[in-house]
Chains A and B, each alone.
Chain A
Amino acid sequence: MALDTLMQQMVNGITLGGMYALIALGYTLVYGIMLMINFAHSEMFMAGAYVGLFTLTGLTNPKLVGSGTVAFLTKNGIGLVLLFTIVFLIAGVAIGLLGVIIERTAYRPLRNAPRLAPLISAIGVSIFLQNAVLLWVDSKALPFPQVFPIVNIKIFGNASISTLQIFILVSVVLILIVLDTFVSKTRIGKAMRATSQDRDAAGLMGVNINTVIALAFFIGPALGAVAGIFNGMYYGTVNWNMGFLPGIKSFTAAVIGGIGNLRGAMLGGFVLGIIESLAAGFLATGYKDVVAFVILILVLIFRPGGLLGESVVEKV
């Protein structure tokens, strides 16, 4: 019985952790380059879920695209792959662009201001986006259409893993591998790392700092949007303040891993997701947030630089 619970909560925790890791990367990317916590990042997650929801609803509406198309997209394996590729691509690009626009309008004018100013600007952006959704969309939670075929597969005793969990996990791992290779191997990735280590020197070596910053503000929110859609698919609902708690948790994950450090954010996300799920399974569901933040406090006391402190892998 206990072993079943352990396995089940591990599966749930890894899935949750994958989502945290995706969001945490957005915090850590921006922090690495700008030394700024983008408090509007949780709203990228929320807005991404909404864009995903609308795209999915639109593409599965017979009146809009015809009933033949809908049947193809939802009943057929290739159709499903196509459908979700389009949904993730549209949401990722839209929210990525939103991130770039926010950087241009709310943060760039404050580039040389005291560090508190962009922070407050970020909180303002966050409030603005939440209220935009309240005003233009709905104040009530919206159901996320269950298009993805969910099948539970027994893995151990009563513990099972669903096809959706497998989908989320595989996607997250792929994204993490691509991002890690991108940052360590490519020319622009190297420019990003150089910028995070010494912005002025990178500029003088010919790196266009504004391009690098814009790229960080594209990639981070795009990943946040992907996590938002996963979240919508996983919990089946989307609402205007859904970004708050996952945002704070993912920020915690980034700090636990070592803020500014990409692999740290990935590790921190999974660690936090697993611990939280175990706490929910073995203590009580109500304690999961308590445990998550206690872990944060412990890490800050004993390893203030995070699990993968500065020196292990470079920050970006």
Chain B
Amino acid sequence: MALVEATNTTMQFGGLKAVNDVSMHIDEGEIVALIGPNGAGKTTFFNMLTGIYKPTSGKLTFAGGSVSGKKPNEICRMGIARTFQNIRLFSNMTTLENVMVGRHTRSKAGPLQAVLRTRGFKREEAATVAEALKRLQFVGLADKANELAKNLPYGAQRRLEIARALATEPKLLLLDEPAAGMNPQESADLTRLIGRIRASGVTVLLIEHDMKVVMDIADRIYVLDFGELIAEGKPEEIQKDPKVIVAYLGMGAEAMLAQA
């Protein structure tokens, strides 16, 4: 059974259909890429999947349960976590604290236990720190645990966002342009990291413009253009799809392709 199932999903803002009648599915254990030119509706799709927007029409389910109309924190609890196109860390908190916030739904001590410093609270606190450190180690930031997030270099901030998302123990991880602004060395590291995330049992859906990253790791690719799904398939199929080439390079490209 598919982990994510979108059936004729539409998101309309006034007269603009940012996502128009899109159907797709993501199976457990897959790495799926969502590509398309700027403004194609990729991030809008992420926002529907994480409860920031409620789809205007259509069905959107995750692990058999409906996602539409749920609040972000409820969806997080269901097992979807994400990173952001423009990094959105809690910049005045330390690296470790950022990841600990990710543990929020997986821990439960209330203010009363905290004030009384009960044994259960201390045990949970220690477990939370240990779990958070494990995630930091996973992305290679364990030595930066006590630095403020805003003082980290750019690449490290991107990895910290991934660690924070992983700390929520998701079944599905949404990565919004994780390789943006990275040099080839960093994006190669990222590709390996995404591979390790999948190996740990997390399904990945990523938006990415870096075609090298996409072609290297994606099992399947969906292509959006002006809110509509124009292609779906394996990386090698997508690379040859004339509709995709037109969407990316314009009409002239098709003519050139025809000539060639």
Contact = CB atoms under 8 A, between A and B. Distances in A.
Given A194-B93, A197-B93, A198-B88, A206 B111 contact: no
B92 A197 contact: yes
Contacts of A182: 111, 114-115
Q: Which DSSP category, helix, strand, loop or mixed, fits chain B's interface?
A: helix
Interface of A: 178, 182, 185-191, 193-194, 197-198, 200-209, 215, 311, 314-315
A200 B52 contact: yes
Given A206-B105, A207-B101, A193 B90 contact: yes
A187 B104 contact: yes
B114 A188 contact: yes
Interface string B96-116: 011011111111011100110
Contacts of A206: 73, 76-77, 102, 104-106, 168
B50 interface: yes
Most chain B beta-carbon contacts within 10 A, residue among A200, A201, A205, A208: A205
B81 A205 contact: yes
A186 B110 CA distance: 8
Interface range for B: 35 or more
A190 B111 contact: no
B82 interface: yes
Contact of A205 (B107, B109, B168): B168
28 contacts: A182-B115, A186-B109, A186-B114, A187-B104, A188-B114, A190-B100, A190-B101, A190-B104, A191-B101, A193-B93, A194-B93, A194-B98, A197-B92, A197-B93, A198-B88, A200-B52, A201-B89, A202-B90, A204-B50, A205-B81, A205-B101, A205-B164, A206-B76, A206-B106, A209-B73, A215-B111, A311-B92, A314-B92
Interface of B: 50, 52, 71-73, 76-77, 81-82, 84, 88-93, 97-98, 100-107, 109-111, 114-115, 124-125, 128, 164-165, 168
A197 B84 CA distance: 15
Contacts of A314: 92-93
Given A193-B93, A197-B91, A207-B101, A187 B73 contact: no
Contacts of A189: 114
Given A187-B128, A198-B90, A200-B52, A205 B111 contact: no
A215 B114 CA distance: 15
B88 A188 contact: no
A186 to B, nearest CB: 4
A127 B128 CA distance: 45
A115 to B, nearest CB: 20
A112 to B, nearest CB: 12
Contacts of A194: 90, 93, 98, 101
Contact of B114 (A185, A207, A315): A185
Most chain B beta-carbon contacts within 10 A, residue among A190, A194, A206: A206
Contacts of A191: 101, 104
A194 B77 CA distance: 17
B93 A205 contact: no
A203 B71 contact: yes
Nearest to B93: A193
Contact of B110 (A178, A188, A198): A188
Contact of B111 (A188, A202, A315): A188
